Amino acid sequence: MGWIYLVLAGVAEIFYAAAMPKTDGFTRIGPSLFSVSFIVVSMYLLSLATRTRPIGTAYAVWVGIGAIGTAAYGIKKSWTYSNNQKDFE
């Protein structure tokens, strides 16, 4: 069950990292609440995962999932944005 919690915590990290720029420095309430709620969920699931997994392993996997997922999201968003810009030229 620890691995499931760990993967879900990593996915929650992707959601909050992707939502962070939309908060405009936490001045927009909707995106800010979305981001903060996923931060809380991610930390809670990480804490559950560390009950059965060593902290070093859990942290490395959690950060890895979050980093790879956030990078993939950013690349996809950038690629979509740049392809849409060609339509306006």
pLDDT at 84: 62
Query: What is the per-residue pLDDT across 63-88, written as a single tens digit (0 to 9) for each?
Result: 999 999 999 999 988 887 666 655 54
CA distance 77 to 85: 12
CA distance 69 to 13: 9
Q: What is the DSSP letter of 87?
A: G
Question: What string of DSSP letters covers 13-32?
Answer: HHHHHHHGGGGTTTTSHHHH
pLDDT at 83: 65
Place of tokens 């997922």: 69
Strand ranges in the chain using DSSP code E only, listed in sequence order: none
> Which amino acid, 77?
K
Indicate whether this model's pTM tops 0.95.
no
Positions of the chain with pLDDT under 50: 88-89
pLDDT at 55: 96
Domain edges within the chain: 2-88
